Amino acid sequence: MRTILLVAISVVLFICVAVLVDALAGFARKSRGIDEDAVDRRLGAVALSRYQESQRIDILLSNGRGSWAWQHLVPSFVFIQRLILQSGTKRSPTELMWIGGGIALATAGAVAFIMPAYLVLLSIPVGLVCGVAPVIFGLMRLRAKRISLFEEQLPDAIDLAVRSLKVGHPMSSAIGVIARELPSPIGPEFAIAADKVSYGMSIPEALGEMQARVPVTDLSYLVVAVQIQEESGGNLVESLGKLSTVIRDRFRMFRKARAITAEGRISAWLLSIFPFVIGCGVLIVKPDYYSQVMDYPHFTGLAVTTAILLVVNIFAMRFLTDLKI
């Protein structure tokens, strides 16, 4: 009976994850209403062949951003789609479905074998959480890395635009130069902006859409500077030069602060990992160490509370050592 229940739970769990992710992908495709063959033909004419594949992914994802009819009904779908867009991942929603479903299935099976018979149903929510959380946190990690790299490349892009403006090129040509000369992720993003400008969109609007795809504060300053110059005039070269200097100085201060606080951050990680290492070591050296108290009525509650407090401790340590400059 226990085996049959376990198999049924595993099948239901996998179907739930598969249907959820497949529905997400299907809604996105239908809501965009884009002829993918026409998009491919259009992208085939893009001159920036080095960034063609990344442009294709980003344009396909971004064109449906404002036309999703279901975005107010299911906000979590919009969050996941925006997360996929901002992370720049090459994996499709189907691949993410298989990854999350596999993790959920394995976790649910392991939990069902460990738990007592009357707690077997808890394997379903535990499996769902363990299947969805790694995918979401993985995408968030990729997004953080991509945004961080974009921030580091932004001063170089601004300097390149300044040099292009000094020799007499318009801002639209400067954007094209940035797209051709700089690597990913900033190169493909500016390539998309250059493509949209060539199709008639204004430069501030194109840069504003880029800022929506890549939420970088310094990029918003660039958008404001270009918008002010377009509406009321001014020395754009001087404004961009000062902006580049400020961004570089801020990065220099941030790296100096991280070097000073390196010892504290390492101590925080050691203090966070130490309880888990000790617990695993005790179980390896003496597996029956906790067997004498596992039948105690409050053992499960105390164990869960301890685990939650340890996780909260990790986030608290990270918050205390996270510098905002």
Average pLDDT over residues 109-134: 77
- What the block records as the tokens of 154 is 């932004």
Q: What mean pLDDT value characterizes the chain?
A: 76
Clarify whether residues 121 and 6 are in a common domain: yes
Structure confidence at residue 52 (pLDDT): 40
Number of compact structural domains in the chain: 3
Cis peptide before 185 (omega within 30 of 0): yes
Structure confidence at residue 289 (pLDDT): 78
The residue range of the domain holding 199 is: 147-252
Q: Is the pTM of this model over 0.85?
A: no
Burial 184-223 (b: 16+ CB within 10 A, else e): bbbbbbbbbbbbbbeeeeebbebbbbbbebbebebbebbb
254 touches 323 (CB < 8 A): yes
Q: Which of 108, 143, 178 is the last residue of a domain?
A: 143
Residue 172: is its pLDDT beyond 50? yes
Q: What's the pLDDT tens digit per position in 203-250?
A: 999 998 898 888 888 888 999 999 888 888 778 899 999 999 999 998
Residue 278: is its pLDDT beyond 90? no
Clarify whether residues 125 and 230 are in a common domain: no
Clarify whether residues 237 and 275 are in a common domain: no
Exposure of 112 in the CB half-sphere (CA atoms within 13 A): 23
Clarify whether residues 24 and 106 are in a common domain: yes
Q: Which of 232, 252, 272 is the last residue of a domain?
A: 252
- Our CA angle for 117, 123, 127, nearest 5°, is 165
- Who wins on pLDDT, 226 or 125? 226
> Rounded CA gap, 229 and 166, in Å?
15
Exposure of 160 in the CB half-sphere (CA atoms within 13 A): 19
- Our CA angle for 304, 306, 312, nearest 5°, is 105
Clarify whether residues 31 and 139 are in a common domain: yes
Clarify whether residues 120 and 151 are in a common domain: no
